[in-house]
């Protein structure tokens, strides 16, 4: 694998685009300490797919981007292009259509690296394999950094074997074998999956065979059903034809009936119009009669209430007269009793006066009895007079009550006559009760 050019832009100290030509034979780089010689070797490793920031002497891969110096501001991306001679067409088949191979790695700050081979975007793994096949790469022992010789001398046998394999050109085969193993495992997994799919397809095939048999049976039965349905439809069609003929006759009959009915309806309409015209005065009369009925119902209620009140008054006065009668009889009896007592006292007084005249020695004793009898007589006389006055007052009350009862009776009979008159008038108006009267 013959490298031709290495072009850097924004990589470490190479802020401006810089091209390093690698001619056949030995190409040397000479410069003072810190001028960037090691940066060039790191650029070569980096473009070949180095993925260790430590190997780049950086904390992170973004540190390979120019970080600024002096008056120059930092960059946000870096790019390294390696041009390889492919005149002998030794590159893998995918890139072998061009006499040169141009491998590009670009890094954008915070977004990682992208790779291209001959302008086509590829994976980091593709770039690493490209160089591994040619027994070189970012970790190739052919690229020796400062202090690495002493490290190789002190290295373990395993690491030395890697160096020897690299020198023998078989390290690419290791990478390929690893890739092939991975693909083999993927293929085995796919085969297992295919077995599963084949089993699923077998069961699906059996199911589809069953469904096909069912479908065939369904198709046969459907044909029979269609034949039967056709027969049924034909029978129905014949029935329907007969029904149409019968219904047509019935419709004609009905049409004739409709004509007769229409004529009758026209006559009825005319009669209805005449009756409607005649109804107008009757409706007015009905309205007036309803108003009168309403008033009569109200009057009737009022008169009935009045008659009931007067009857109550008559009953109350009759009871009062009876009570006055009883009182007067009782008081007359009391007056009679008092008169009898007075007569007895007069006899007693006459007897005592006779005894006083016949026996003057018992005069004081008999005079005391005489005064007591006279006092009793005076009291009874007072009672008799009071009873007589009470009897006279009650007689006056009785007369007044009888007068009021008589008036009430005559008002009751007047009210009843007015009520009868109202009932007769309502019957004369047709016997219909007004809404208010019905509600009452």
Rule CB under 6 A: which residues touch ligand ATP? 12-13, 31, 33-39, 63, 66-67, 69
- Minimum CB separation of residue 168 from ligand ATP in Å reads 31
Rounded least distance, CB 53 to ligand ATP, Å:
12
**Nearest distance, CB of residue 84 and ligand ATP, angstroms:** 23
Closest distance to ligand ATP from the beta carbon of 78 (Å): 8
149 or 235, CB closer to ligand ATP?
149
Q: How far is CA 140 from the centre of its chain?
A: 73
Expressed in angstroms, the distance from the first to the final Cα of the chain is 128
Residues near 383 by beta carbon (within 8 Å), at least 6 away in sequence: 334, 338
Q: Which two tokens stand for residue 64?
A: 């390979």
Nearest approach, Cβ of residue 15 and ligand ATP (Å): 7
**Which tokens go with 386?**
């009071």
Q: How far is the CB of 124 from ligand ATP (least distance, A)?
A: 21
For ligand ATP, the closer of residues 33 and 361 by Cβ is 33
Paired with 18 in beta bridges are 8
In the complex with ligand ATP, the residue whose CB is nearer, 5 or 37, is 37
Number of residues written out for the chain: 440
The rounded distance, in Å, linking the Cα atoms of 351 and 353 is 6
* Cβ closest to ligand ATP, residue 37 vs residue 116: 37
Torsion sign across C-alpha atoms 146, 151, 153, 159? negative
β 112-117/2-9 pair status = unpaired
For residue 100, the minimal CB distance to ligand ATP (Å) is 27
Burial (CB count <10 Å: 0-12, 13-18, 19+), residue 411: middle
What's the closest the beta carbon of residue 75 comes to ligand ATP, in angstroms?
Answer: 9
Residue 49 burial (10 A CB sphere; 0-12, 13-18, 19+): buried
**Closest distance between ligand ATP and the C-beta of residue 67, in Å?**
4
Nearer to ligand ATP, 34 or 71 (CB): 34
Residue 187 is encoded by which pair of tokens? 């293929």
DSSP string, 205-266: HHHHHHHHHHHHHHHHHHHHHHHHHHHHHHHHHHHHHHHHHHHHHHHHHHHHHHHHHHHHHH
Identity of the residue, 18 or 334, whose beta carbon is nearer to ligand ATP in the bound complex: 18
**Which of 33/150 has CB closer to ligand ATP?**
33
Ranked by CB distance to ligand ATP, the top (closest) residue is 38
Residue 13 or 118 having the CB closest to ligand ATP:
13
Q: Among residues 14 and 95, whose Cβ is nearest to ligand ATP?
A: 14
- Classified as helix, coil or strand, 77 is strand
**For tokens 């069953």, what's the residue?**
210
- Closer residue to ligand ATP in complex, CB, 47/387: 47
Gap between the Cα atoms of 117 and 311, Å rounded: 133
User: Residue 96: which of 54, 134, 57 has the closest Cα?
Assistant: 134
Smallest distance, ligand ATP to C-beta of residue 184, A: 42
Q: Compute the half-sphere exposure of residue 440: CA atoms within 13 Å on the CB side of its CA.
A: 17
């Amino acid at each position: 694998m013959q490298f031709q050019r290495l072009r850097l832009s924004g990589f470490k100290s190479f802020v401006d685009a810089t091209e390093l030509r690698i001619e056949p034979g030995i190409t040397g780089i000479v410069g003072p300490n810190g001028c960037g010689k090691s940066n060039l070797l790191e650029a070569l490793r980096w473009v070949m797919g180095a993925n260790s920031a430590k190997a780049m002497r950086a904390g992170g891969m973004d540190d390979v981007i120019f970080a600024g110096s002096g008056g120059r501001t930092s960059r946000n991306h870096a790019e390294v292009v390696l041009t390889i001679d492919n005149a002998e067409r030794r590159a893998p088949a995918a890139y072998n259509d061009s006499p040169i191979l141009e491998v590009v790695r670009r890094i954008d700050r915070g977004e990682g690296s992208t790779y291209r081979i001959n302008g086509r975007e590829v994976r980091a793994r593709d770039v690493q394999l490209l160089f591994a096949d040619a027994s070189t790469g970012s970790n190739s022992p052919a690229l020796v950094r400062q202090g690495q010789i002493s490290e190789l001398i002190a290295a373990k046998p395993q690491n030395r074997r890697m160096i020897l394999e690299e020198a023998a050109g078989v390290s690419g085969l290791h990478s390929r074998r690893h890739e092939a193993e991975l693909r083999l495992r993927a293929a085995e997994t796919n085969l297992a999956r295919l077995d599963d799919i084949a089993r699923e397809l077998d069961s699906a095939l059996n199911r589809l065979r069953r469904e096909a048999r069912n479908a065939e049976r369904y198709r046969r039965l459907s044909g029979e059903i269609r034949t039967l349905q056709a027969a049924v439809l034909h029978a129905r069609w014949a029935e329907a034809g007969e029904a149409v003929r019968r219904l047509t006759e019935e419709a004609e009959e009905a049409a004739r009936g409709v004509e007769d009915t229409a004529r009758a309806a026209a006559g009825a309409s005319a009669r209805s119009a005449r009756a409607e015209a005649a109804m107008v005065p009757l409706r007015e009369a009905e309205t007036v009669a309803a108003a009168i009925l309403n008033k009569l119902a109200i009057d009737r209620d009022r008169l009935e209430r009045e008659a009931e009140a007067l009857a109550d008054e008559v009953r109350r006065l009759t009871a009062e007269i009876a009570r006055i009668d009883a009182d007067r009889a009782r008081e007359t009896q009391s007056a009679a009793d008092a008169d009898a007592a007075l007569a007895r006292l007069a006899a007693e007084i006459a007897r005592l006066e006779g005894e006083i005249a016949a026996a003057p020695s018992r005069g004081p004793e008999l005079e005391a009895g005489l005064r007591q009898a006279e006092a009793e007589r005076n009291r009874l006389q007072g009672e008799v007079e009071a009873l007589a006055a009470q009897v006279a007052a009650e007689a006056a009350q009785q007369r007044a009550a009888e007068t009021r009862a008589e008036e009430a009776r005559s008002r009751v009979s007047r009210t009843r006559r007015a009520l009868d008159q109202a009932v007769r008038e309502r019957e004369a108006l047709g016997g219909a009760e007004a809404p208010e009267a019905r509600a009452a």
